[in-house]
Amino acid sequence: MRLTQQQLEAHLWGAANILRGKTAGQDYKNYILSLMFYKRLCDQWENEADDAIAEQEKQQGRAFTETQKAIFRARGENRFNIPAGSQWGDVRAVSEKIGEKLTEAMRAVANANEELKGVFTVDWNQPAPDGSGKPLIPNEVVHALIQHFNEHDLSNRSVPPDILGRAYEYLIKQFADDAGAKAGEFFTPPEVVDTLVRILEPRPGDTIYDPTAGSGGMLVHSADYLREQGHHATSAQYFAQEMNWGNAAIGKINSVLHGLEANIAAGASTITDPAFKTPDGKVRPFSLVLANFPFSDELWWLKPEQQTDDKKKKDRLKKEVFSKEGYKDLFGRFGRGTGFRAPPAGYGDYAFILHILASLTDSGRAGIVCPQGVLFRGQPEVEEETGEFDDDGNPIIKRRKADDEHLIRQALLQARLIDAVISLPLNVFYGAGVPACLLILRKQRPPERHDQVLLVYAARHFRELSNQNELRPQDVMRILVHVQAYGDAAKVPALVGQHSQRIREQINQREQEEVERLDAEYAGFAERLAELDATIAEARAGLARLKTQTEKTKAETALRKLESQRAKPAAKVAERDERIAETRRRAEDDRRDIEQVGSELGALYGDPDELLKHTRVVSLDEIAENEFNLNIPRYVDTFEPEPRVEVREALRALQQAESVLCEAEADLGKLLRAIGYAE
């Protein structure tokens, strides 16, 4: 049976529900995702072997014996090799110590395939922390998971790669929603990633790199964009590094499922131990870099194993890696000879930005998610009066050096590397309440933009959800039109038309997928309700045919029992219908807003004063006058005016309020007189 994407999603999330709460913290996501991938590998291995055997039998005109089939399977002529004794059936055949067998099988598969090294990082046989010797995940729970996954074949025969890839991304999103603040370690909202990808427009031949990859979403979205443009995903090459082994494993699985053949390095810091280097020890350059690095990391200069609470140890290490000139970078990214100051020890933002810059080819471009502090932190060089005077009576002036972050930002601007800055709404990232922005770097910029920077204030428009905010399709459209027009009003109509059509199709597809997802989620309740309704109808019809009172009483009792059983599935189906109605209402609102936003953008670019409230192309001369401070409110009018009030309506409201007050005072006087407190 071929599974729909929604059926597969419901099935996979059902496995998560079995394991939730039975591992340490949010680690259960790694267990579920790796188990799903292992099952996929095994099922696809069986499928490929069956197809190859069938082809050989057809060519030879005879059926193979089971022994011949086993010999053929052992040749390993498959995309991935599943060693004997490590196949799904081998794990399923075990009844005791299933976790031990499952871990052994996964490791054997990883060892047999170079591309899968580092994919299976979880230990299903990990002992419980109480010293009892029992596994953290009980045998019966592992058995339940194996039985659950055994319900469906996950090979191409039942689940095409594109459906499995989308379902995997859905599962990562669900885990992110479940993880809350910690989700920021492995997940960037897809709307933000899509915005960056569409600004930078991946091309065939690109080498695409993410230095802090998390679950690999930046790479996957780049591949999706290439496919959308009619190219194969592998027309570009993909590289990434991720310090957390578990997150890197999720990213590797994501890469394999989407057919990217990505090279993802794991287990080391991009700053202290960059994985991709040139023969002379510098960082390797790439044509396109996308990143969402850890905001304001205080320990960016330490290797993961050195990050400790021991202050003496940290102070000693700091002396080893910092000199008077700052951090001793061995890879030519900042410090002596690079033109860029070393970042301060307390903030790692510019360490990542300068690493990304050093990782760009001469024509490279980058899109980076940053805290807005990188736009204005750090003071320029200043001269201050000390309050003292020299022998001639002149005030003594003290010169204070410029801060490192100020000097780095100034150098980036003077080198004409910053192409655009986009401020984002608050709380669009998991666990990051600080204001964020998108920083666009380009090594080669059009001559007319050489001495300019585009600033976009996109913080006004978003959808408010219960726990965080979300960029809507129409909000992404606003950003893309502003960035791609770059102040040129003549480009706006074509851009609006291009994005309006694409985003309408996107909204329609998301609406359909969400409705189908809800149908799949509530399918069991809907089926149960239909069964009960049919049984109740049949019972009522039979009741009319009964002759004796005893028979009728018994049948009425049975009917009431059936009707009471109907309450729960009926409530669930009503809940489904309300959620579907809300999904359709939201999609309709978004479609209507696309038309409205298109009209607004056209009007904006015809009204320069109004446009200044949203975006502005600023000259480097003006930025220099502002001491290289890029805080967007310095250049774009972000002030939110008070709603306009009609004087006539305000006076009428005041009169009504005074009338209500007089009536209340009169009523109070009556009450006080009635109880003798007033004359």
pTM for this model (two decimals): 0.86
pLDDT at position 153 is 93
Domains 5-159 and 183-386+416-464 share a fold: no
Q: Give the rounded percent of residues in the chain with a pLDDT score beyond 90.
A: 56
Question: Which one is the CATH code of 5-159: 2.102.10.10, 1.20.1260.30, 3.40.605.10, 3.40.220.10?
Answer: 1.20.1260.30
Asked if residue 12 lies in contact with residue 28, where contact means CB atoms within 8 angstroms, the answer is no
pLDDT at position 666 is 81
How is the chain split into domains, by residue range? 5-159, 183-386+416-464, 488-604, 646-679
Q: If pLDDT is split at 50, 70 and 90, which confidence band does 640 have?
A: low
Average pLDDT, the chain: 88
Whether the predicted pLDDT of 50 surpasses 90 = no
Whether the predicted pLDDT of 400 surpasses 80 = no
Q: If pLDDT is split at 50, 70 and 90, which confidence band does 265 have?
A: very high
Whether the predicted pLDDT of 24 surpasses 60 = no
Alpha helices in 486-548 (DSSP H): 492-521, 523-545
pLDDT tens digits, residue range 488-547? Answer: 999 999 999 999 999 999 999 999 999 998 998 899 999 999 999 898 888 888 887 887
pLDDT at position 25 is 52
pLDDT at position 321 is 87
pLDDT at position 218 is 95
Q: If pLDDT is split at 50, 70 and 90, which confidence band does 72 have?
A: low
Pairing of strands 237-242, 207-210: parallel
pLDDT tens digits, residue range 582-635? Answer: 999 999 999 999 999 999 999 999 999 999 999 999 999 999 999 999 999 999
Residue 166 per-residue DSSP state = H
Query: Radius of gyration over alpha carbons of the chain, in Å?
Result: 32
Highest averaged pLDDT of the listed ranges 57-61, 125-129, 172-176, 440-444: 440-444
Domain spanning 183-386+416-464: which superfamily? Vaccinia Virus protein VP39 (3.40.50.150)
pLDDT at position 673 is 77
Burial class for 501, CB neighbours closer than 10 Å (0-12, 13-18, 19+) = exposed
Closest CA to 307 of 292, 290, 294: 294
Whether the predicted pLDDT of 386 surpasses 60 = yes
Which residues touch 550 (CB under 8 Å, ≥6 apart)? none
Query: Rounded to an integer, what distance in angstroms lies between the CA atom of residue 577 and that of residue 508?
Result: 18
pLDDT at position 67 is 67
pLDDT tens digits, residue range 148-169? Answer: 999 999 998 898 888 888 888 8
Question: Which range (31-45, 366-380, 461-475, 645-659) has the least confidence?
Answer: 645-659
